[in-house]
Amino acid sequence: MSIVSSAIDQVNNALGTGTTSNSNTSGSSTSSTSSTSQAAGGSASQQLAGNFDSFIQLLTTQLQNQNPLDPLDTDQFTQELVEFSTVQQQIDTNTNLQTLISLQQASEATSALQLVGSTVTLSGNSSVLSNASNTPATWSINASGPGTGQVTITNSSGQTVYNGTLSLSTGAQSYSWNGQGTNGTTYPDGTYTLAITGNSASGKKLTLTTSVQGTISAVNASASPPTVTVNGQSYPISSIQSVTGGSSSLSSTLSTLNSTVSSLNSTVSNLAAKL
C-alpha cells in the first residue's frame, strides 16, 4: 500500500466511514484495517485538519523517496490527489457549518428575548397552584374522542396527591384542580404535574395530549435552542404552541424561531448524509 493510501484510511476513520484502502507500489503490498475512532475531546474538524496535514507530509515524503526506476503510477497518483481534494472540501464544510450554527444560535437568542412577559400556551403537563390568589392549577386536555379519563396529580417531589376521573369530549377542554387532595388535604402552593389516560365507551384507548398556559418570566439564551421559563418550569422554544399576550409581532417572532431551528436541523442532517 502507498503511504498516501494509509493517510486516506486515517481520514476515513476520522470521518467514521471505516473504509480500508489497498494498493500496490514498487511490487510490494500490505494490508490496512480501519483504526478505532479517535478519543473524544477533539472536534471532527480538528481531526480532519490533523489528517490533512499528515496527508501533505506523507505525500511529499513518498515523492521524495520513490524508486526512480519504478516511479509512482500516474493513475494512482491522480486518484490520490482527487481524494486529497475531497478531504479539503470536507474540512471546509465542517468549518462553514460551525459558523452557520453560531450565527443561527445568536439570532435565536436575540429573538427569544422578545418573548419575556408574554402569555403563551405550551406542550406540557405541569401547572402552578396558588391558594394565595385563589388560582387553581389548570391544564388544557385534547382528546381524540369522547370517553372517560383517569387523572393522577403529583407534586414536585413525585408524591401522588390526587386521583380522580372526568368526562372527556372530542377536542380541547380545560381541567382545573383547586388543591384538594384525594384524602381531603389542602396542598400548598407549588407546581403540580398531571398524568391522564382515557378510554371510549367501547373500551378503546383514547389519544390524549396536555398543554399549559402561563407567562414567560425568563429566557435562557445560552441553551441550544433557547429555553423559556413558564410557571417555574423550563421549556424549549419548540414547545410553544401559541402566544396570546404581548405585542402582535411575537407570533411572527415565534414562527421565525421555529423555522430557524428546523433549518439548522436540516442542514446538520444533510451534512451527516454527505459524510
CA distance 233 to 63: 63
Q: What is the pLDDT of residues 176-201, one digit of tens each?
A: 999 999 999 999 999 999 999 999 99
Quick check: 46 pLDDT over 50?
Answer: yes
Quick check: 100 pLDDT over 90?
Answer: no
- For the chain, the 3-state helix, strand and coil shares in percent, each to the nearest 5, are 40, 30, 30
Confidence (pLDDT) at 237: 84
CA distance 37 to 13: 6
| Cβ contact 46:89 at 8 Å | no
Confidence (pLDDT) at 194: 96
Nine-digit cell at 233?
418550569
Confidence (pLDDT) at 225: 73
What is the pTM for the complete model shown?
Answer: 0.52
Q: What is the pLDDT of residues 105-129, one digit of tens each?
A: 677 667 777 888 888 899 889 999 9
**3-class secondary-structure state, position 16:** coil
Highest mean pLDDT among 3-7, 86-90, 191-195: 191-195
Q: What is the pLDDT of residues 23-44, one digit of tens each?
A: 343 333 333 333 333 333 345 4
- pLDDT band at residue 1 using 50, 70 and 90 as cut-offs: very low
- pLDDT band at residue 91 using 50, 70 and 90 as cut-offs: confident
More confident residue, 102 or 147: 147
Nine-digit cell at 270?
444533510
- Mean pLDDT is lowest, of 65-69, 84-88, 233-237, for 84-88
More confident residue, 155 or 97: 155
Average pLDDT across the chain, whole number: 74
**3-class secondary-structure state, position 170:** coil
Spell out the domain ranges in the chain: 3-112, 118-245
Four-CA torsion 230, 234, 235, 241, nearest 10 degrees: -10
Cα–Cα–Cα angle for 239, 223, 103, rounded to 5 degrees? 105
For 118-245, CATH gives 2.60.40.4070
The residue-averaged pLDDT of 227-253 equals 74
